[in-house]
Amino acid sequence: MSSRRTSSWSRLLAALGVLLVALLPWVGTPTARAADAPVLKVAVTADIDNFNPFKTVLLTSTQINRMQYEPLVQWGPDNKLTEGLANKWEASPDAKTWTFTIPAGRSWSDGQPITAEDAAWTFQQMQQKEELQTANGSLVENVTSVEAKDPQTVVITMKEPQASNPGNELPIVPKHIWEKLDAAKTNNDLSDGQPIVGSGPFLMTKYVKGQSIELTANPKFFRGAPKIGGITFVYYKNLDAAVQGLRAGEIDLVNGLTPAQFNSLKNQQGITANNGEGRRYQGLAINPGAVDAAGKPLGDGNPALQNPQVREAILTAIDKKVLLERVLGGLGKPGITQEPTVYPDYFGLAAGASERTFDPAKANQLLDQAGYRRGADGVRVDPSGKPLKLRLMGRSSDATHAQLADFVKQWLSDVGIPVETSMVSNTQVNNDSTLGKYDLYFTGWSIGPDPDYQLSINLCSSRPNADGSGATSENNWCDPKFDQLYAQQHSELDPAKRADLVKQAWTIAYQANVIDIVYYADYLEAYRSDRFANFTKQPENTGTITNQNGYWGYYGATPVQAGDTQAQTAGGGSSNTGLWIGVGVVAVLALAGGFFAMRRRKPAEDRE
């Protein structure tokens, strides 16, 4: 190298040094530890069943467990599969053998390494013990074996080819903790004095039933510790009280708002209201004659509802368009099947099938044909002369249920069916619907991007035991034709063909008249934007902060005083520090005459 070139390079390095020194006040200051950061306070009105990931069914407790226990693969902010505990996965050509790689260096919150043994043990326990299949039993029905080939490699062998990734959805628990527990009996709620050991971004550290649930940021989380110190779920008697708490600054985030509450918060100073595309459906379920896993009658549903014509008449007498406009104020989309519009590949009925339409005259005709004539008082009676009277159950915690019930009660009265309504606790709705103790009830499920699970809880094999334990059935309904279509889509590797099979299966359920999907409500939420920002939405840009297929909304949250208030990227995004590092890099590239531009960009598949 000539002395001139050496001198030029020295001057360049000196200039770079001066620039970096100037930038050090921006790039050298460490961010506050998550434990020192503000805690996000979230309102909650829903009940908790338990925190045992093998048994958790209700929405709030399921969401909390998603923040504590990672599956092998995860749904990303774009609703596409991304890494969970495993950063690589592949299926054999026949889709019967799936291999997952868990990278070395990832640890549980107690510092113990996460290995393939943890994943294998979790799957094996569910395979071997029926009592551990309450929440996710359908996910292991097609599994022959799960083996840890080495500390980093787990292999899942399927009975039949499987299109959906078997590593998705199932929370993996630490073997070294759970092998010492009675996994079927623990509520995993800290009542035994043992701390929660998990792999996710947050861990429960305190639970006071009916008052609060406290989660603390996990500093060992493999994606990096959250920017907030934790999350406290604060109980409120109802949403109105929670909204007042948000206005008063007692809490930072409220979800599941009614349209009226949402509209009242839209222009409040220091508050941002988010109208996200929802993944949840609102349905009206009809008891078709529930039976348990042994095929014996379950519950006390009205026998009249075992007649498909009666069920069709009930659903034909309901005007879903009015419900969407009057109850939601148009903040949603009309319902058809259990697949919401947010997943367009699987949305809608099979080709050639038609939707029911609101038609009171047809409803009356169907009831007449079924042998339920009007008595002198206008009330329908069965062939033996017994008046037809139905019960309608909803959740007291959801204000829209009472509104829906008022409309449904009037419409059914118009066709000669009196309805007695009752709004009860979430726990009672869950218990009574499982045990078939209802005639009609409002139900809703939050649906994941892959349809396999939601289809599976409509199988004949998903009917519960007589005491309500065991598998979970969505509609207390069973049809062998549906089961056959489920099996076909389950192993169909062609995406277009699989989508068609899924629509065919949902069409059978639709035409069975066991559930009417009223609408897919937009998810309405609001937060204190004067305190927190940068919540990651799912789907990105148009989606929700809460009620996600994952934890991205909470994980992305940033205290306003700690960073930029503009929207950040998925997984936590950027901060002011990142911005100034970017400025420095641009300046360095300019001074270096493009020297660093020669370095290859990180390939897309390696990005978080």
Query: How many CB atoms sit inside 10 A of residue 419's CB?
Result: 18
Single residue among 463, 494, 522 that ends a domain in this structure? 522
d(Cα 439, Cα 249) in Å, to the nearest integer?
A: 42
Give yes or no: residues 219 and 87 share one domain.
yes
Specify if 332 maps to a domain: yes
Identify the CATH number of the domain in which residue 508 sits.
3.10.105.10
Query: Are residues 352 and 222 located together in one domain of the fold?
Result: no
pLDDT-wise least confident of 27-36, 121-130, 373-382, 524-533: 27-36
Which residues, including other chains, have CB under 8 Å from residue 3's CB and lie 6 or more apart?
none
Count of structural domains within the chain:
2
User: Model confidence at 529, in pLDDT bands (50, 70, 90)?
Assistant: very high
Q: Cβ neighbours of residue 599 under 8 Å, at least 6 residues apart?
A: none
- What CATH number corresponds to the domain at position 266? 3.40.190.10
528 and 514 within one domain: no
pTM of the model: 0.70
Task: Say if residue 176 is in the same domain as residue 309.
Answer: no
pLDDT of 3 over the 50 cut: no
What pLDDT score does 416 carry?
98
Average pLDDT over every residue of 298-304: 97
Q: What is the mean pLDDT of the chain?
A: 87
What pLDDT band is residue 573 in, cutting at 50, 70 and 90? Answer: very low
Q: Left if phi > 0, otherwise alpha if psi is -120 to 50, otherwise beta: which for 160? A: beta
420-457 pLDDT, tens digit each: 999 999 889 999 999 999 999 999 998 889 999 899 99
Domain-embedded: residue 234: yes
Residue 212 pLDDT: 96
Strand locations in 447-490 (E): none
Q: What is the mean pLDDT of residues 501-519?
A: 98
Q: Which pLDDT band holds residue 556 (cuts at 50, 70, 90)? A: very high
Show the domain range for 417: 281-522
Residue of higher predicted confidence among 365 and 344: 365
pLDDT higher than 90, residue 576: no
Residue 377 lies in a domain: yes
Is pLDDT of 9 > 60?
no
Q: pLDDT at residue 28 above 50? A: no
Question: Domain for residue 406, yes or no?
Answer: yes
Give the pLDDT band (50/70/90) at residue 35: low
Structure tokens at 211: 């008052």
pLDDT at 36: 81
Are 368 and 288 found together in one domain? yes
What percentage of the chain reaches a pLDDT higher than 70? 87
Q: Within a domain: residue 52?
A: yes
Task: Assess if residue 368 is contained within a domain.
Answer: yes
Alpha helices in 193-307 (DSSP H): 239-248, 259-265
Pairing of strands 373-374, 523-528: unpaired
- The residue out of 467, 497, 522 marking a domain boundary is 522
Among 588, 582, 593, 599, residue whose Cα is nearest residue 15 = 588
pLDDT at 34: 57
Question: Rounded to an integer, what distance in angstroms lies between the CA atom of residue 447 and that of residue 513?
Answer: 20
pLDDT at 138: 81
Tokens of 329: 């104020």
Q: 254 and 332, same structural domain?
A: no
pLDDT score of 47: 81
Asked whether residue 548 is domain-assigned, the answer is yes
Closest C-alpha to 243, from 227, 259, 231, 228: 259
Residue 603 lies in a domain: no
Encoded amino acid at 434, one letter: T
**Same domain for 169 and 206:** yes
pLDDT score recorded for residue 103: 98
Q: Is it the case that residue 127 has pLDDT exceeding 70?
A: yes
Q: What is the mean pLDDT of residues 352-366?
A: 97
Q: Among 522, 537, 567, give the residue marking a domain's end.
A: 522
User: Is there a single domain that holds both residue 206 and residue 294?
Assistant: no
**486 and 511 share one domain:** yes
4 touches 10 (CB < 8 A): no
Query: Quick count: other Cβ atoms within 10 Å of Cβ 208?
Result: 10
HEC string for 253-279: EEECCCHHHHHHHCCCCCEEEEEECCC
Question: What mean pLDDT is predicted for residues 168-179?
Answer: 96
Cis omega (within 30 of 0) for bond into 451? no
**Residue 513 shares a structural domain with residue 529:** no
**Percentage of the chain lying above the pLDDT 90 cut:** 76
Chain-centre distance of CA 471, in angstroms?
A: 19
Q: Is pLDDT at 61 greater than 90 in this prediction?
A: yes
551 shares a domain with 488: no
Which has more pLDDT, 603 or 388?
388
Amino acid at 77: P
Average pLDDT over residues 323-339: 95
> Do residues 82 and 215 share a domain?
yes
